[in-house]
Amino acid sequence: MTFDEIYSRFSGSGVTVTGKKVKFDFGDDGKIFLDGTSNTVSKDDAAADTTLKLKLADFIDMAEGRLDPTAAFMQGKLRIDGDMGVAMQLQSVMAKLRG
């Protein structure tokens, strides 16, 4: 799975967290911005309620079920800036990606 494939899955399934702005920051590999206020997905580096910072490879492992998001957080592979409550809602986002 590549960044572009992940972006296509996000945008193709309209995955957002209702009323919230969430950014996945993969460093040099890119960013994916889920705007739940306008129900859009983009590659913008915009201000978000919650930003998840992690390596693209770790995100792929999470998306494919090889890495538990809680374990990734505890191991320092996943950093969350902002509203932790929004981060907790992302299990459904990950489920849609696997679908």
Which domain covers residue 84, as residue numbers? Answer: 3-98
24-47 pLDDT, tens per residue? 999 999 999 999 999 999 999 999
Q: Could you give the number of structural domains in the chain?
A: 1
pTM: 0.90
- CATH at residue 48: 3.30.1050.10
Q: Please list, residue by residue across 12-49, b when 16 or more beta carbons sit within 10 angstroms of its beta carbon and e when fewer do.
A: eeebbbeebbbbbbbeeeebbbbbbeeeebbeeeeebb
Instruction: Scan for tokens 């919230």, then name that residue.
Output: 20
Of 12-21, 48-57, 60-69, the range with the highest mean pLDDT is: 48-57
